[in-house]
Structure 1
């Protein structure tokens, strides 16, 4: 609460506390790593909290101080020496702090992560982050510790841009690790779409790329998302993933799904083979969208996150394909048969895409254990949420809390998620504390609507 900003320029933040000297922290991006280099700028009195004096003012001030020093008493000079010694000690400690912090940040920041620091004049130092990692990042000063904890529930983020607009020229700065992307930003991101199957740009240089995935799937009404994608329109260059096909189907995996349950998450070999067939790499940004009337695009979003794609690069478009075209987005209208089928893929070879076994899932034994815990201690046992619609009344797990998936999206657009404030009110009304330390287990009929939660 005592950190103040004195100067904020391109790539440079100048800060000071009430008890420490001023340093200039220079943040440089080099091979997707961030380093900190200390530069001694000036020593500012603790009661000075407006702005740094310019060079002329600072020179004149030093001249006045020199004149005053001639009239100083021996006692005053002795006190001045004590201040100098104390300041030197603080400098040594501060340089040690900077070296330690620099070493920690270099180790902690993964490739491709984005970190944004925003500071306000005469206000507490504000940190917002888009780092995707589970361990906290800690910054320590003499009497200050700022902790940013990374979790599945993302912190609200802000984007800092420079006056020359260079940040707008990168895909990471545009999408910024956000889950929900507006139509306008999706259209801007489309210029980063891959120009070919190898992901190279026209000049042959591998750059940041975005891949649009049509996740249209319908649980009723007779519509066929796969056939509609073939017929068009579709976002220019988009791919299609059929959750019924890219799944642990009984026909392909009888031992994994002996009961023949529909659209179960696929094994990592099938997902990796699918990504290779679609020319998708682990470094690509994925934007999932759907056609008007579609509801369950969050299921495809969860598929990518669960099977190992970088969660900071998996996004949902806020709106439909029709909205995208209406706002001026490019679309393909010709018929295509360029779709992936699971039965045609080789699952025994080497894969370029690195997938993992499905995460964030619980099996039958895990659910039974949760119910046993509830009987022992209802106050600390896992919370069970069920987002189904009318079928919830036909039967559900004992103790499950009903939070309808239809309440998560806007009533007039099934492809737009409600605001954070509206969602918090929905959970509070249902009796769910989203800040609880208790484990939360989500369940539905076949693992589709549950992905809204």
Structure 2
């Protein structure tokens, strides 16, 4: 994460053959606009502009394991599940984004990806995590602090022209013109028409990294419940929020990053409530808190995030705000491995389904989690 990306440094690199800088508009809204009470359309806003120069729009609901394209992999129709590696690779080809494997040349570096959003969008860490989990060099994935409106107010250059009625071929990979509609990638058309093609972009992963499923979370919850049943009945202390592990870790903690819906909708036994809103500044939700504030927040939860033998599992409403928590740990210098820091992709959208026979604390039940 870059504190404040410098306009001249970035824009002068865009004409370089490799690596180049690619701007990604990651705007995504989970609630209606608080003023108009109308759901904003981020792809339409991208088309109308303004945009950062030569940017692409990435929709986390489209570049995903959707039921429409992958019914066998997502029979529950869960939203914005992490995409298959091949789909992500094809999307990167369409966007003209490369990595160090694309050219099979160790002297050619991955393209820099800079993610930004519009004022009112707060979940750009999810787009950042998408690139990192799919194998893009994490040192080449940057999160702009502040919105495009903040950028404009500071004198940053933008593209003002509308893309409606245009193809915007300057941001499209070679041979992918048919997969774009007025500057927006048609993911269904991309995948169905290029299904037999091997992506040039190499993700370096078979599946998204750091992602865990329901069974892995259930194992952690069951170990907590077993420990609780064997204890003397104490609760609301560290022992009820962590548990001994048999997978090589000393403890496992489940962090729930949801906001106000946490206690209203229910939660997992042993979950620690750590609202994602606390990780960003009150005045600008697209700016992360300073490291000293992040450290204090984790310290207040009693979690030694620097302990690499502590397994941390993030869960939220639908696998989006979890990425705020993951990114905060990266910023604080946690030694993150594939196994010790996990993101539950299905999150409460899956866990909270009443047809699922899963342990959960529902409204009215005895509270056994740390509340704010």
Q: Provide TM-score, normalisation by structure 2.
A: 0.69
**How far does the alpha carbon of each residue in 1:192-217 deviate from its partner, in whole angstroms, 9 at most, with x for none?**
12x4xxxxx4xxxx333110100000
Residue matched to 2:18: 207
**How far does the alpha carbon of each residue in 1:74-122 deviate from its partner, in whole angstroms, 9 at most, with x for none?**
xxxxxxxxxxxxxxxxxxxxxxxxxxxxxxxxxxxxxxxxxxxxxxxxx
Task: Indicate which of 335, 349, 370 corresponds to 2:162.
Answer: 335
How far apart are the structure 2 equivalents of 1:445 and 1:240?
24
Aligned 1:120-199 pairs, distance under 5 A: 179-183=1-5, 185-193=6-14, 195=15
Within the alignment, does 1:445 sit opposite 2:321 as a pair?
no
Residue matched to 2:297: 426
Within the alignment, does 1:354 sit opposite 2:202 as a pair?
yes
Indicate the SS of the match to 2:310. Answer: coil
Residue matched to 1:220: 31
**How far does the alpha carbon of each residue in 1:213-232 deviate from its partner, in whole angstroms, 9 at most, with x for none?**
00000001111111100110
Structure with the larger strand share: 1
- The answer to which of 334-343 and 224-233 deviates more is 334-343
**1:386 and 1:443 in contact (8 A); partners too:** yes
How far apart are the structure 1 equivalents of 2:277 and 2:294?
12
Task: Indicate which of 121, 124, 146 corresponds to 1:297.
Answer: 124
Residue 341 of structure 1 and its aligned partner are, at CA, apart by: 1.5
Task: Indicate which of 373, 389, 392 corresponds to 2:262.
Answer: 392
How far apart are the structure 1 equivalents of 2:69 and 2:18?
36
How far apart are the structure 1 equivalents of 2:222 and 2:85?
31
**How far does the alpha carbon of each residue in 1:167-212 deviate from its partner, in whole angstroms, 9 at most, with x for none?**
xxxxxxxxxxxx23414x254212212x4xxxxx4xxxx3331101
Residue matched to 2:219: 369
Q: Which stretches of structure 1, 4 residues or more, deviate above 6 A after TM superposition?
A: none
Task: Indicate which of 258, 267, 273 corresponds to 1:402.
Answer: 273
**How far does the alpha carbon of each residue in 1:17-47 deviate from its partner, in whole angstroms, 9 at most, with x for none?**
xxxxxxxxxxxxxxxxxxxxxxxxxxxxxxx
Give the 3 Å change call, closer, same or farther, for CA 207–273 of structure 1 in structure 2.
closer
**1:247 and 1:263 in contact (8 A); partners too:** yes
Within the alignment, does 1:263 sit opposite 2:90 as a pair?
no
**2:116 and 2:148 in contact (8 A); partners too:** yes
**How far does the alpha carbon of each residue in 1:387-441 deviate from its partner, in whole angstroms, 9 at most, with x for none?**
1011110211111111101101000001100011001111122222222331000
Bigger Rg, structure 1 or 2:
1
How far apart are the structure 2 equivalents of 1:187 and 1:326?
16
**How far does the alpha carbon of each residue in 1:128-151 deviate from its partner, in whole angstroms, 9 at most, with x for none?**
xxxxxxxxxxxxxxxxxxxxxxxx
**Structure 1 spans left out of the alignment, 5+ residues:** 1-178, 196-200
Residue 371 of structure 1 and its aligned partner are, at CA, apart by: 1.7
Aligned 1:238-277 pairs, distance under 5 A: 238-277=55-94
Residue 326 of structure 1 and its aligned partner are, at CA, apart by: 1.9
Count of matched residue positions in the alignment of Structure 1 and Structure 2: 264
**1:212 and 1:235 in contact (8 A); partners too:** yes
How far apart are the structure 2 equivalents of 1:263 and 1:253?
12
**How far does the alpha carbon of each residue in 1:50-84 deviate from its partner, in whole angstroms, 9 at most, with x for none?**
xxxxxxxxxxxxxxxxxxxxxxxxxxxxxxxxxxx
For CA contacts below 8 A with separation 6 or more, give which structure has more relative contact order. 2
Q: Provide TM-score, normalisation by structure 1.
A: 0.57
How far apart are the structure 1 equivalents of 2:7 and 2:27?
17
